[in-house]
Amino acid sequence: MLDYFRKQKSEMAMLSPTDMALAARSASRGLQALSSADRAAVMHRVADALVANEAEILSENLLDIAESEKNNVDSALLNRLKLKDGKIAQLAQGVRSLADMEEPIGRCLRHTQVADGLVLKQVTSPLGVLLIIFESRPDALPQICSLAIRSGNGLLLKGGKEAMRSNVILHRIITEALAPAVNPGLIGLVTSREGIDGLLKLNHVIDLVIPRGSNQLVEYIQANTRIPVMGHADGVCHVYIDEKCDMEKAVKIAVDSKVDYPAACNALETLLVHKSLQNDGRLDRILTALKDAGVELFGGVNSATALGLPPCVNPKHEYGILACTVEVVDTLEAAIDHVHKYGSSHTECIVTEEQDTAEKWLSGVDSACVLHNASTRFADGFRFGLGAEVGISTGRIHARGPVGVDGLLTTRWIMRGNGHTVEKDTAVTYLHKSLPLESTAEEAKKAKDKTSRTCKIDKGGFKCAIQ
């Protein structure tokens, strides 16, 4: 087996990124052909292999760290680079959680009796080949690999150069654990010296690129590829405090939305406040609470002078630190217009006790996540209950907002007939009758999962590396 793998490896090392993508697609078809139980078993073997090889992984990781220290890389990068105590066990547990979640492939979304004896199903299926580009953060690699295996996709990985040794060992251990059930070519690690620009040109062999890293990385990728990109460059989130708010909730939500994790994409950047709060002194209480929590305040274009605050850089500014813009608005509609004009369509919250006003906000704000009386920090795959999070998408195509394994799937149409023909629509009488989805799911399960196995849904899973 090891010989088989070594042969594969040496062949893989010769492959161009295009050939790696083709190999990944071919291997993914083999992975899809496995039963649900067999796919889960492969993932448990991956988890076992991570635990069994912990010492070797950590030793390679130390070499990466030593090299980076020698090159004086900054401390934030060093911190992300280091696999801390207990991390490998935690990563293995993440892989197992994902292995035990409900089977995502083959789920029936539509079931139609098209005509007598002619039945149509729309079922979920893997997207194909994913390209994941991530910075020097080796814990991302096992997470990404297990998401790809769970969703039946092929994968090309391009990690940051500082984590090269950690990535190579993790990739080797994971792909060794795949064989022989799945061709190790399922997951290709691009270690060639060429940068990401070459990879971004592979739109004919890659179906989706997911950048995991800084806003700058995401922005660069969005601007430089024809491959669909799932991700978000900006997170300019708003909290609007309505005239009819409960002040205790307003203070709690404003503070939590900014302070809980200021660098997160779902953190508050602009606080919008109804003018009545400025007039009756309630705004002061909110601003004092923010200042007490260490938040630096800047005034919006219309409010800086009146509030005696330094003006904000621009109304679209994403601080990413303990700072935010405060802007006073005359009406709910003005608040919504402000969000549409300056926001990034990520996450926006209203604080109000007025149900009608809340519903106007929830239906009127055109963002991925809209909230009523809840912190913007809830906009997250784990908190939303999606299990593993692929990332957060501010794109409108395919997937929007926090994305779970479902975001790595597409659908296929499956039709079963008995010699049916069209003959200019004269040969059959169309019924187009909806059939229950339940029976289909059971049937799909029967067909795919012939061995008996009880899958439990684990709501935990692991989280996106990017908070």
For 313-350, b where at least 16 C-beta lie within 10 A, e where not — what string? Answer: eebebbbeeebbbbbbbeebebbbebbeebbbbbbbbb
**Residue 4 corresponds to which tokens in the numbers above?**
């088989």
Q: Select from 3-11, 159-167, 234-242, 363-371 the region that touches a copy of itself (CB under 8 A).
A: 363-371
Distance CA 155, CA 95 (A): 16
Under the binding rule (CB under 8 A), the answer on residue 190 touching a copy of itself is no
Q: Does residue number 14 form part of the binding site for a copy of itself (CB under 8 A)? A: no
Distance in angstroms (rounded) separating the CA atoms of residues 54 and 60: 10
Cβ-contact 462, 142 below 8 angstroms = no
Q: Which two tokens stand for residue 440?
A: 């289909």
ω into 180 cis (within 30 of 0): yes
The correct pick among 379, 405, 464, 466 for binding a copy of itself (CB under 8 A) is 379
Binding test (CB under 8 A) with a copy of itself, winner from 372, 435, 445, 455: 372
Identify the residue among 98, 368, 405, 466 touching a copy of itself (CB under 8 A). Answer: 368
456 sits near a copy of itself (criterion: CB under 8 A): no
One of 69, 285, 447, 450 touching a copy of itself (CB under 8 A): 447
Contact criterion met (CB below 8 Å) for 132 and 122: no
Is residue 370 near a copy of itself by the rule CB under 8 A?
yes
Q: Which of 151, 96, 345 is nearest to 233 (CA)?
A: 345
Among 3, 74, 248, 292, binds a copy of itself (CB under 8 A): 248
Footprint (CB under 8 A) of a copy of itself, residues 124-183: 125, 127-128
Choose between 69 and 102: whose C-beta lies nearer to a copy of itself.
102
Residues in the chain: 467
Among the candidate windows 39-47, 179-187, 231-239, 368-376, which touches a copy of itself by CB under 8 A?
Answer: 368-376
Number of residues that bind a copy of itself (CB under 8 A): 74
Should residue 421 be labelled a site residue for a copy of itself when binding is judged by CB under 8 A? Answer: yes
Nearest approach, Cβ of residue 256 and a copy of itself (Å): 4
Binding-residue pattern over the window 317 to 356 for a copy of itself, x denoting contact by CB under 8 A? -----------------------x----------------
The yes or no reply on residue 74 touching a copy of itself (CB under 8 A) is no
Please select the residue that binds a copy of itself; options are 195, 310, 311, 417, rule is CB under 8 A: 417
Nearer to a copy of itself, 73 or 414 (CB): 414
In angstroms, the CA 188 to CA 73 distance is: 27
- Residue 160 CA: distances (Å) to CA of 111, 136, 307: 44, 4, 44
Residue closest to 239 by CA, chosen among 369, 363, 381:
369
End-to-end CA distance of the chain: 39
Q: Which residues contact 32 (CB under 8 A, 6 or more apart)?
A: 105, 125, 126, 152
Q: Measured from the CB of residue 327, what is the shortest distance to a copy of itself in angstroms?
A: 20
- Residue 266 CB partners (closer than 8 Å, separation 6+): 235, 237, 346, 347, 369, 376, 377, 378, 379, 380, 392
Establish if 285 lies at the interface with a copy of itself (CB under 8 A): no
Residues 295 and 271: beta-carbon distance below 8 Å: no
Minimal distance, residue 308 CB to a copy of itself, in Å: 28
Pattern 204-243, binding to a copy of itself, x per CB under 8 A? ---xx-----------------x-x---------------
Say whether residue 93 binds a copy of itself (CB under 8 A). no
442 scored as a contact of a copy of itself (CB under 8 A): no
Q: Choose one: 168-176, 302-310, 318-326, 396-404; the region binding a copy of itself (CB under 8 A).
A: 396-404
